[in-house]
Every structure is written in structure tokens, then in C-alpha cells.
Amino acid sequence: MEILRIEHLSKMYGKGETAVKALDDVSFSVNKGEFIAIIGPSGSGKSTLLHLLGGVDRPTSGKVLVENTDIYSLDETQLAIFRRRQIGLIYQFYNLIPVLTVEENMTLPLLLDGHEVDREELSRIVGILNLQSRLNHLPNQLSGGQQQRVSIGRAIISHPAIMLADEPTGNLDSKNSAEIMDLLQMLNKAYQQTLIVITHDERIALQADRILTIEDGRIAKDEVIRP
């Protein structure tokens, strides 16, 4: 079942002489529960693509359809709600809020959405992430791997349909990196959460169901690894 459809997506940054075409007429579709790795040289447009899939930025032209809704036909308020409910974003440098505790960082998306925190669900997720003893810590009191687990907690707390990760292990050693990828894949399989990961790590890419190679803002290759 298709969850995501990208149609003729293009993105220009800047104007005139300094204009950069970061994405150039990209089209593909993604099935629910698929795990896709996005690879390609630095500056090829990977992060731009991921941001457009997540409703973080607006394209210059083209469409992103999530469950058949054209997300860029939404106004800013609706788009913000879509992001909070449907998209879990994970970055290389975690992007946690430094003055909030682990628990506060994780539950922020629910509170912003006006939902109460389901304590049972929270403790289940905290258990999966192995953060039980760190709930009242601040981000700077955690290791890199722990901070990334908090950011995963924040990304999954509202059970988004789609998890988007931009080099999530780029700042971690190989042990923590493997743990984070195991966790993301477990969530992908257990909850049928669609997982799209940008990576420079070939081992990670080979764990995916499908590898998209981006070059010069275009899809250079689209390879199915596991049908």
C-alpha cells in the first residue's frame, strides 16, 4: 500500500546568479512499512529531499502526497499539525531542547498537540529506549547515543506514520550506531512505521529494503534490495 508519493519535486535556493537547484524533478513512491536508505555525495540534495518529505520546507514545484493528501496544499497551521502527527524527524545532532529534561523533550510533541501524556505508553517507550534512569536529566548530561535515543523517543511518541532520519548515526561510534539502527528497524517492523534514512554508511544502506541514490538533485539509482 502506497503511503507517500513524490511527483516532479524541485527545489531552488536563492535567486538569479546565485540560485542553486538542489532538487531537480524527483518522482518516486513509497509503500507503508518500507525501509529506504538514501545515499549520495555531499551536496546532492538528500537533506533537501528529506525536509520536503517531512513538510519542513516548501518545494519550488511539484507535490508530496502523504496518504493521498497534497501536504503543500495545507496552510501553515495545518502543515504544522501534519508534521507533529505524521512525521518523526531524527537529526545527526539530535536537536534536543537544552533546558528541558529527557522526559520533557520526549513528550513535547504531545503537549504541543494538546494531548495528555499516557504514562503507560511513555514508560513502555522509555523502556524500549533504555532511558528509565535518565528521565530527569538534561541533554548535556547524556552521552551521544543516549541523546539520540531521546530524539527517537520524541520522534515516535505520537506514533507517526513516517520516520525520517538525516544521518542519525553520523555522530556516533560503531556500537551506538548499531544500537540506534537496530532500534529504528525494530520500530519499522513492529509498528509498520515507514523509515527513510539518509546515510553515508554502506552497512546501514544494505540493511534497507531499497536504496535511492541521489546525484545532482536527481534520482540516479533506485534499487530494491529486499522485495
Which residues of this protein are in contact with ligand ADP, per CB under 6 A? 13-14, 20, 22, 40, 42-48
**Which of 26/129 has CB closer to ligand ADP?**
26
- Indicate which of Mg ion, ligand ADP, none lies near residue 127 (CB less than 5 to 8 Å, by partner kind): none
- Indicate which of Mg ion, ligand ADP, none lies near residue 43 (CB less than 5 to 8 Å, by partner kind): ligand ADP
CB of 175 closer than 8 Å to CB of 208: no
CB of 42 to Mg ion, least distance (A): 7
Question: What whole-number distance in Å separates Cα of residue 8 and Cα of residue 1?
Answer: 21
Count of C-beta atoms within a 10 Å radius of residue 46? 24
- Indicate which of Mg ion, ligand ADP, none lies near residue 20 (CB less than 5 to 8 Å, by partner kind): ligand ADP
CB of 125 closer than 8 Å to CB of 153: yes
CB of 168 to Mg ion, least distance (A): 12
Q: Binding residues for Mg ion, per CB under 5 A?
A: 47
**Which of 28/191 has CB closer to ligand ADP?**
28
Helix axes 119-129, 102-112, angle to 10 degrees: 130
Helix or strand (DSSP H, E) at 183 = helix 174-191
- Indicate which of Mg ion, ligand ADP, none lies near residue 45 (CB less than 5 to 8 Å, by partner kind): ligand ADP
Question: What whole-number distance in Å separates Cα of residue 57 and Cα of residue 75?
Answer: 12
